[in-house]
Structure 1
Amino acid sequence: MSEPLKKPGVRVLDRGVEFSVYSENATGMELCLFDKAGAQTAKLPMAHAGGNLFRLMVDGIKPGQRYGYRAFGEWDPMNGLWFDPAKLLTDPYAREIDRPYRYDPDLSEFGVDTADMVPKSIVVADSAEDIGHVDFPDGGLIYEAGVRALTMLHPDVPKPIRGTVAALAHPAVIDHLKKLGVDAIELLPVTAWMDERHLQPLGLTNAWGYNPVTFMALEPRICPGGIAELRGAVKALHEAGIGVILDLVFNHSGESDQFGGVVSFRGLDNATYYRLAHDDPSVLINDTGCGNTIACDHPMVRCYIVDSLRHFVTEAGIDGFRFDLAPVLGRRYEGFDPDSETLHAILNDPVLKDRTMIAEPWDIGPGGYHLGNFPPPFLEWNDVTRDDIRKFWRGDPSMTGQLADALSGSSHIFSTNGQGSTRSVNFIAAHDGFSLYDLTAYVHKHNAENGEHNRDGHDENYSWNNGVEGETDNELVNNRRRQDLRALLATLFVSRGAIMLKAGDEGGCSQKGNNNAYCQDNEITWLDWAHMDGELVAHTAELSALRKRFAVFSQTDFFTDDDVLWLRPDGKVMDVADWECPECQCLSMVLATTETTTGHPTRLAVLINRGLEEAVFLLPEAHEDGWHSLAGQSQGAVEIALAPRSVSLYAERLNEGETH
């Protein structure tokens, strides 16, 4: 006979199914079984099995069984206790649920039965299929996409699967990713979430998914086939050489603040799963801005997080994870600790240690900004690079040095503690904020459709509109925007470190100036495939191919003096006065590199002109073959006339032993 479960979860055995759930403060626990129509078929008391576990073996049931828990104990929210046996509770370890979560005021009313409101957990057996793993290269290209946004309007994807995880496996989607040279697609949350309670009266729904209730079950609205559907999509992407990264939210849950629902964690043991104020257990600490904060330093919560990650690796072949508001993972009551046991457990778990880990290195709690402070090999979203690239191209004064640092992998941030390489994820736009096109078309946010009177979203976006706010028929303005988009994309692709491209930015997609489109599950966020700028898509694909062709961009060790020269347009080395010049509009970055396919030594010149006038650049003295435009323009030139608001690349093949 198998040993009983020693931690929470569900285990399928030949004789039936064993259930186990954790609570430190519950006085009793009840397992409720349901049929597929939602009717309750059994209420079974669970035994207190020690170690704060309640356990029950039920003979004769099989995968597909619906179930939920009811916890008994004291209802005393002023002391952090929310036990109410009238509340049906989703199993935190549920791998699938039978329908989406939905907010209802009765979820927080004591004594009101919620069996007809709360999704039923579904028993799922382990998969025996191993679909392998795709390694993400250190300086690879991440494509950030929401499942619905990416596929809802794709004309080649069959309508029945548009907006679902299954659509990611469609050849048309995969062909587009391959055309762009994507190394990994990073999916906005696919785990089941609850729409925020203020959205329903506005007729809106959550479009991003950053409001989970439980951390393993997949969202039925976008993944109706559960873990098998995700596994199938990952398998198809792997066969195309594309990795899959999941954006996961372990920092808060959709049970929200004290006015939110009792759906899972709160009803099982509020004081265990959430961080409460030391001096007032009625207060949920809100380091996330979402009403609560998961107590990630609690041993049981730590186990749950690691088990969730392992689940997605072993059951779906997921290649990496991006952690929303990641400092919460390392928070203790005293603050963020990069050596926390939870971060250590994630990085050293034998199932997880070869996967890519990416931190969003800030939350809104005390001392919550930690760019550069996460332990290696965590990669980190780099908002400094994001903002500096934006400000440079907007025309802000004295930005030349900041741009050079951004292109170099932000060594001043990531060289702490003797580290010799960057862990930066460079990006200019992401799901949160303006799209790349909107950076060039809007000075102000336009979020009125979010229902908050334009109060939500960041007020400073370091954006510009080229003379007209929003859409226009003025072809001069539109041409300037296209120039700026090409230059912004080129800047991203020649930066050192991993890079991330927001889905749709390769084709100039707009969100109509909405910089907080989390609640716009509609044409505002859905990619308009029919009106993609084909020339811009081709430009992005060319940049990606160049990035892969030359090793210098995907390498992550910091530049030395032998690797790079920074030159003025006249070909002279930049000095302190040049770096500090407020009006500096131009910069040359000359790089020593090799071609990845041949290993042949090469010099690259990246020429940057953010000015409104053409600029003349003198390249360093050429060797035998001279400088050649990588855009197929001038050949063998040394003096280059560079168009305004543009970036251009030139290459010179060297003989063995030659340097720049």
Structure 2
Amino acid sequence: MPYTLLPGKPYPLGANVTAKGTNFAIYSEHATAVQLCFFDADGNQTDCINLRERTAYVWHGLVRGIAAGQRYGYRIDGPWEPEQGHRFNPSKLLVDPYAKAISGQVDWKAPIFAHKVEDNNDLVRCDRDDAYGIPKSVVIDTNFNWGKDCAPQTPLSDSVIYEMHVKGFSMRNPAVPKKLRGTYAGVGHPASIDYLKKLGITAVELLPIHHFIDDGHLLDQGLSNYWGYNTLGFFSPMPRYCSCGDTGGQVNEFKQMVKNLHAAGIEVILDVVYNHTCEGNRNGPMLSFKGVCNSTYYRTVADQPRYYMDYTGTGNTLNVRHPQVLKMIMDSLRYWVTDMHVDGFRFDLASTLARELHAVSKLSSFFDTIHQDPTLADVKLIAEPWDVGEGGYQVGNFPVLWAEWNGKYRDTVRRFWKGDGGQLSDLAYRLTGSSDLYQFDGRKPYASINFITAHDGFTLCDLVSYDGKHNEANGEDNQDGANDNESWNMGAEGPTDDAGINTLRERQTRNFLTTLLLSQGVPMLSGGDEFGRSQRGNNNAYCQDNEISWYDWKLDEPRKRLLEFTSKLIQLRRDHPNLHRRRFFQDRVIRNTDGDNVVHDLSWYGADGNFLSNEAWNTEWNRSLAIILNGNTLQVTDDEGAPVVDDTFLLMVNAAAEGVEFTLPPTPFGGAWKHLIDTENIEDPFARECVGDKVILGGRSMMVLCAERSHTQIY
């Protein structure tokens, strides 16, 4: 059918419905012609329109007669000069980089490569039409009844983050209706929300939900890209997780999930992948950015622009130095905050985004732009502070306003509980908010996102059950995934009927969870760890969209005990500001050797009840210590200006195989210590009772005592 084309406007980019029709706008700096093509529900091309207007490299036009639900794509012509970084090919249909919804999947049997694959030469252009094998962009209706939706806005210092996969979380949950399992609606279902509320978490961190594609080599093996770190569209929610199809309904279903979670006081954080796309290197497919304007969107080698810079290990790196690419990322972030109401972002391989020429820079345009944006001022910004390039490991080096996945926390805690020697000094910093990483650049303890496990690596159950990875199901001869996991199987590889080993594994799991949830900083719990989820030793389950990755909700008694234990730990943490302080402890040196007449906010003790000596800190053999967290030294006030005081806690850890008798130090203000947690006690680890002057801390266990608060805050 014929359409009326009007000049339209160059902004906003993408497809936006107006009273007169739909405005289309796309940026292409080096294009010579841009065609806008429309498709019916069966994927047949019905018409193409040449966009005539070009403003500041934006090609635009308003098309009357186009409404929400219309599928579309672009064909863009320009120079085919791969050696100069230009790869325009009008035979290839392109997804709109600003598409708010995307329908369909990539057909790897279609000629989706811009070059002649059969010649194995990326310099020779392929002129075969590939529209039948390319996903289609979808015009959406932005109307949604948010009602009185109000983000919980939990301070980061008070947060408990739950990293989860949208599909894996509810796919096997019998409490969720079958039609909704594995979907946004499944996460937003009352049964799911009730579970999250009872567990006590404050925010879900969703693995990537931006529209991504499945790698061809995975599909050939009957696998798929389960994790989703393979982005095609930075504005579109993945339709795979929608219960009502892929013609735009994924947008409103995602919004309803957010609305439901917010109503329960739970925030939504997105794991976002702005460092690379799914198009790979010069031999990869042409799906969107590569054909829209390759030299704009990708970082190419300076003197050989035919080739891509690769700081991500995926074949390409987005060119964040270019104003349009930076604008696209910012537009995407703002869209997810303003239109989709999300509460924060975890940036995958964030060091890549901060690379100016080559090195990672705190003064990069990316940081500057984010920091001055009022829309992003109140959202949570969390960095994965590394990439695979030279100098990419940047834990502790991100600027103010950013929190970081603390990889050093993970490694130290794993080594300590595995029984490695020489870990006490580093463990002390990790338990108290990693002041060595974050105190001296204006940040607070909550800059440290503490985690022991995450989606990438062993689950907590597998961490205590396997010495080595078992990734055979991934089809790479067990060559993929990390080889160094700091794990320990306790004497048997994988599941065992040995009661002693199972008891030790259960205790070690409680040790890890207690350490994580009672450390200063922000705990991130990997979904399913709270009830012993296993991936059968697979530490790289990125391609396992099956029962290896899906949460198993059939809980035996040990798993039920672990779930109850975790929930009580989280509640304990949330009830006590002393366990999630907003300021670092004031001792400039974390080791404390002053006299008994000085009141400390933080004190370290050996088993003899004396301050821990320098020798004890530095020796290889010592695997136990005690720490007092003084609840009268928080140095904060409540909303009415009154000083906040809390109980004082004594945390004792022992990673040695044998038990240790601890002589208890006196409480800071008199009174008795009371037993709070003992990870060695399987049946009742939270038994409340008074203790004497000495306690026996079992081998490979942790104990927490408390003294009731005084009514005076010490400054």
TM-score range, shorter chain: over 0.9
- Which residue pairs with 1:549 in the alignment? 575
- Pairwise CA distance, 1:486: 0.4
Picking from 645, 652, 657, the partner of 2:707 is 652
Q: 1:297-351 deviations in whole A, cap 9, x for unaligned?
A: 2100111101111111112210000000001211112322222122222232121
CA contact (8 A) 1:100 1:193 kept: no
Map residues 425-440 of structure 1 onto 2, 5 A cutoff. Answer: 425-440=449-464
Query: 2:33 matched to 1:28?
Result: yes
| Aligned-partner SS, 1:332 | coil
The size of the alignment, in residue pairs, is 660
Answer whether contact 1:205 1:521 (CA < 8 A) is retained: yes
Tell whether 2:185 aligns with 1:144: no
2:572 aligns to what SS in structure 1? Answer: helix
Which one of the candidate residues 619, 624, 635 is aligned to 1:586?
Answer: 624
In the alignment, is residue 76 of structure 1 matched against residue 94 of structure 2? no
Q: TM-score, normalised by structure 1?
A: 0.97
Query: What letter corresponds to residue 161 of structure 2 in structure 1?
Result: I
Q: What is the rounded CA distance, in whole Å, between the counterparts of 2:572 and 2:326 in structure 1?
A: 42
Deviation of residue 153 (structure 1)?
Answer: 0.8
Code of the residue aligned with 1:201 in structure 2: it is D
Q: Is 2:459 aligned against 1:414?
A: no
Structure 2 counterpart SS, 1:221: helix
Matched, 1:37 2:42: yes
Aligned counterparts of 1:48 and 1:377: Cα–Cα separation in 2: 40
Distance 1:585 1:163 in 2: 43
Aligned position for 1:626: 672
Shift of 1:439: 0.9
Aligned-pair distance for 1:643? 2.3
Q: Is the 8 A contact 1:569 1:618 kept in 2?
A: yes
State the distance in 2 between where 1:429 and 1:421 align: 20
1:636 Cα offset (Å):
4.4
Between the aligned partners of 2:43 and 2:170, the Cα distance in structure 1 is 31
User: Match for residue 189 of structure 2?
Assistant: 170
In the TM superposition, what whole-angstrom CA distance separates every residue of 1:454-484 from its partner, at most 9, and x where no partner exists?
Answer: 1111110001000011111111111110010
> 1:155 aligns to what?
174
Q: Return closer, same or farther for 1:552/1:105 CA change in 2, 3 Å cut-off.
A: farther
SS in 2 for 1:524: coil
Q: Which residue of 2 aligns with 1:559?
A: 585
Asked if 2 retains the 8 angstrom alpha-carbon contact of 1:100 and 1:192, the reply is: no
Q: Which amino acid is 2:578 matched to?
A: V
Match of 1:612 in 2: 657
Secondary structure of 1:316's counterpart equals: coil
How far apart, CA to CA, are the structure 2 residues paired with 1:418 and 1:86?
Answer: 53
Deviates more, 1:623-632 or 1:138-147: 623-632
1:210 matched residue in structure 2 = 229
Normalised by the length of structure 2, the TM-score is 0.89
CA distance in 2, matches of 1:460, 1:153: 31
SS of corresponding position for 2:205: strand
Note if 1:244 corresponds to 2:268. yes
Gaps of at least 5 residues in structure 2 are 1-5, 116-125, 588-599, 677-685
Deviation readout 1:586-642 (Å, 9 max, x if unpaired):
111110126999954421101112122222222222456411112224314332222
- Residue 629 of structure 1 aligns to which amino acid in structure 2? H
Residues 100 and 221 in structure 1, CA contact (< 8 A), matched pair in contact too = no
The residue that corresponds to 1:515 in the other structure is 539
Determine the structure 2 residue equivalent to 1:577: 615
Flag the 1:638–1:138 CA change in 2: closer, same or farther, 3 A. Answer: farther
Partner of 1:120: 136
Shift of 1:421: 4.4
2:395 corresponds, among 371, 390, 400, to 371
1:321 equivalent in alignment to 2:376: no
Residue identity in the other structure for 1:611: A
Deviations 1:488-524 (A, max 9, x none): 1000011111110000100111111111110011111
- The question of whether the paired residues in 2 share the 8 Å contact of 1:445 and 1:515 is answered with yes
Q: Distance in 1 between matches of 2:644 and 2:150?
A: 29
Separation in 2, partners of 1:435, 1:353: 33
Cα-to-partner distance string for 1:539-577 (whole Å, 9 max, x where unaligned): 101110111121122224221243211111221111110
What secondary structure does 1:252 align onto?
A: coil
Q: SS of the residue aligned with 2:95?
A: coil
Q: Residue 256 of structure 1 aligns with which residue?
A: 280
- Give 1:457's aligned residue: 481
* Greater CA drift, 167-176 or 388-397: 167-176
Report the Cα distance in structure 1 between the residues aligned to 2:15 and 2:473, rounded to whole angstroms. 43
Provide the C-alpha distance between the structure 1 equivalents of 2:224 and 2:419, rounded to a whole number of angstroms.
Answer: 37
Q: Specify the alignment match of 1:496 in structure 2.
A: 520
Amino acid at match of 2:537: G
Q: Specify the alignment match of 1:534 in structure 2.
A: 560
Contact 1:625 1:636 survives alignment (8 Å) = no
Deviation string, structure 1 residues 57-86 (Cα, Å, up to 9, x no partner): 101221111111000012232322211111
**Partner-residue secondary structure (3-state), 1:593:** coil
| Residues 190-216 of structure 1, C-alpha deviations (whole Å, 9 max, x = no match) | 111111232122111011000011211
RMSD: 2.0
Calculate percent identity across the aligned residue pairs: 40
Spell out the pairing of 1:3-22 with structure 2 (5 A cutoff): 4-22=9-27
The letter of the residue matching 1:163 is: G
SS of residue paired to 1:192: strand
Structure 1, 529-538 or 587-596: larger mean CA deviation: 587-596
Distance 1:238-1:11 versus aligned 2 partners, 3 A rule = same
- Matched AA of 2:611: V
In 2, distance between residues paired with 1:379 and 1:356? 8
What 5-or-longer segments of structure 1 have no aligned partner?
Answer: none
Write the distance in 2 (CA, Å) between the matches of 1:342 and 1:654.
45
Contact 1:381/1:425, CA 8 A, preserved across alignment: yes
AA aligned opposite 2:615: A
Match of 1:640 in 2: 695
Q: How does 1:36-115 map to 2 (within 5 A)?
A: 36-104=41-109, 106-108=111-113, 109=115, 110-115=126-131
Aligned to 1:346: 370
Residue in structure 1 matching 2:319, options 285, 292, 295: 295
Displacement, 1:129? 4.3
Q: Is the 8 A contact 1:100 1:219 kept in 2?
A: no
Matching residue of 1:285: 309
Q: Retained in 2: the 8 A contact 1:601–1:655? A: yes
Change in 2 beyond 3 A, CA 1:658/1:575: farther
Counterpart position of 1:385: 409
- 1:242-273: CA deviations, max 9, x gaps? 10000010001001112211100001011100
**Does residue 134 of the first structure (1) align with residue 188 of the second (2)?**
no
